[in-house]
Amino acid sequence: MMPIGRRTALIPFLALFAAWFFGDSSLRAAEPVRAPHAMVVTEEPHATDVGVAVLKRGGNAIDAAVAAAFALAVTHPFAGNIGGGGFMLIRFADGRSTFIDFREQAPASATRDMYLDASGNPTRDSIDGWRASGVPGTVRGLELAQSKYGKRKWADLIAPAVKLARNGFPIPATMVRSLNEERSRLEKDPESRRVFLENGADLHAGQRLKQPVLAQTLRRIAKNGAQEFYEGQTAQKLASAMAEHGGLITLEDLRSYRAVERAALAGHYRDISILTAPPPSSGGIGLLQMLGMLEGSGYQKTGAGSADAIHYTAEVMRRFFADRSQYLGDPDFVKVPTLDLLNPAYVERRRSTIDMNRATPSAALNAGLPSGNESSETTHFSIVDAEGNAVAMTYTLNNGYGSAVTVPGLGFLLNDEMDDFTSKPGSPNLYGLIQGEANAILPHKRPLSAMTPTIASRDGKPFLVLGAPGGPRIITAVLETFLNVADFGMNVQDAVNAPRFHHQWMSDTLYLEKEIAPAVAAELQQRGHRIEYSPGVVLARVEAILIDKKGHKEGAADHRFSGKAAGY
């Protein structure tokens, strides 16, 4: 491995940081929200308030997570859901941990080539419409977590979401923009058009969105538990609508769905212990493998935002995503070589191929092990309670507003998670990811995910809880935010807000946010990187909590969206 260069260090570090982070306008740092006891950070203010209220009433972090998740299903339909799935990572105050996998599953009738046309090319059926949905897992996963680890009553945790759906809430400008951006997809579905587009009327910020049909569905779930969604009236209506519209999910698919409790993936970076997501997420393996390549490299010596630091980290990202394309999938169906991918000797071998002076062409870089056996529109929240329990939860519909289908008589949107499978090995999915046979479609299989809920600890105590939405960009956003705190000493709000970059092997492009200094971008181009600028929202949105040595909580909602951090 070539040593890290010092070229960028010729620029005074403070001036470089100011130009990179603040656009030359100010040296004032952004401050996190601080609270002595507990903290909730979500992408939507109502959901944050719901979570804080649960904690104040004696609920723990798991209770608050369940309440916030149901609230987001009402107030953040872009990604919050009961028609999708996700992951919940829990670290208990006594140091124990667990991981709840409620990822969607392929229906029993799913087939390997179901999204290919007569010429063998992928269609949009995995993205739009009734056939795009996997069997939802959210309600089952939330019930598993709450029944086993929560303290409050299930119905009480859903009551705030019922109220929000029944009485409505003012639509924020961010939601108006997202609805307008997805209007062409939502208009194709009569129920989505009625609920979210006012039957074609122009939307404006501040108008009240009421969802009485969804409120009725949530009331039944509050009364009858997850059984209502998977076997009761809700299940029967969903299965009937699927049959009527050519969808694949049957009543038996719903009845047979189970959330799975797995061991969290554990690793280290310097003196920091890390808990993160195991397969079927690729995010945890990616985070730990990339940290392994970075540790001891000296990549950080020229400072945050320097060409050296970005170049080296991008090369690390490139190597992980090459491995991801071939080896990762649902561990219940394929052998995922987790230990091999994280083996220090293998990580060092991958690191040794990085040239500090030149970008490695992705076409020349393949998966590194011997042959053997992902939306951007996800949402994440982080919670720490007064007892010291921490939850990092990421759940999703995949695309914005999922498949754009709202179930008649039920009021919720369906996911389009079937696009996270490999419809055709070697062909890019919605996010441009190249994927392999390990993630091919099979009945009851869970698609590979990029969701990366993560909890980091020092000296046996949690100090950073984070995660993000953003498709494959989740993994790199979590990595960069972690490094901003651990290696560059930023406060948690600055770490979350800092301009980001992303490389995912194929296509061979280094994506930069526009706030990254032009001189840095020019130097990266000189090293052989193909640069493309992306809007901030494209490079994921992180919601994070830092716990200081005194136990005080600092919450950071990403400035790229309209989230909220609050505590007490």
In a domain, 546, yes or no: no
In a domain, 399, yes or no: yes
The pLDDT-based confidence of 537 (bands split at 50, 70, 90) is low
Is residue 154 within 8 A of residue 147, CB to CB? The reply is: yes
Instruction: Let me know if residue 476 belongs to a domain.
Output: no
Looking at residue 159, what is its pLDDT?
98
Average the pLDDT over 252-259 and give the result: 98
61-117 per-position pLDDT tens digit: 999 999 999 999 999 999 999 999 999 999 999 999 999 999 999 999 999 999 999
465, β-bridge pairs: 455, 545
> Is 78 domain-assigned?
yes
Residue 301 to residue 309: CA distance in whole angstroms:
8
Query: Tens digits of per-residue pLDDT, 169-209?
Result: 999 999 999 999 999 999 999 999 999 998 888 789 999 99
Sorting pLDDT into bands at 50, 70 and 90, what band is 536? low
Per the CB < 8 A criterion, the answer to whether 273 and 456 are in contact is yes
**Does a cis peptide bond (omega within 30 degrees of 0) precede residue 147?**
no
CA distance 63 to 187: 36
- 441 versus 375: the higher-pLDDT residue is 441
Tokens 């393949």, located at residue: 366
pLDDT at residue 201, as a whole number? 82
Strands of 410-552, DSSP E: 454-458, 461-467, 501-502, 510-513, 531-534, 543-547
What pLDDT does 314 receive?
A: 98
Q: Give the mean pLDDT of 327-338.
A: 93
* Residues near 339 by beta carbon (within 8 Å), at least 6 away in sequence: none
Q: Is residue 275 part of a domain?
A: no
Contact 555, 40 (CB under 8 A): yes
**Spatial distance between the Cα atoms of 58 and 389, rounded to a whole number of angstroms:** 13
- Give the C-alpha separation, 362 to 432, whole Å: 14
Q: Tell me the C-alpha distance between 516 and 524, whole Å.
A: 11
Instruction: Decide if 466 contacts 42 (C-beta within 8 A).
Output: no
Q: What pLDDT does residue 209 have?
A: 96
- Average pLDDT value for the chain: 92
pLDDT of residue 437: 84
> Quick one: pLDDT at residue 17?
39
Is 171 within the bounds of a domain?
A: yes
pTM: 0.93
> Positive or negative CA dihedral for 226, 228, 229, 230?
positive
pLDDT digits (tens, 9 = 90+) for 409-442: 999 999 999 998 988 876 776 566 667 788 999 9
Instruction: Summarize pLDDT for 42-64 with one digit per residue, the tens.
Output: 999 999 999 999 999 999 999 99
Active site residues: 378
Rg (CA), the chain: 22
Give residue 16's pLDDT. 37
> Containing domain of residue 143, as a range?
74-262+376-426
pLDDT per residue as tens digits for the range 480-491: 999 999 999 999
503 falls within a domain: no
Could you give the number of structural domains in the chain? 1
Question: If residue 294 lies in a helix (H) or strand (E), which one and from where to where?
Answer: helix 283-294
For residue 225, what are the contacts with CB-CB under 8 A and spacing of at least 6?
143, 154
pLDDT recorded at residue 149: 98
Q: How far apart are CA 136 and CA 499, in angstroms?
A: 34
Report pLDDT digits (tens) over 358-374.
999 999 988 765 433 34
In a domain, 438, yes or no: no
Handedness of CA 318, 322, 325, 329 (dihedral sign): negative
Confidence (pLDDT) at 13: 36
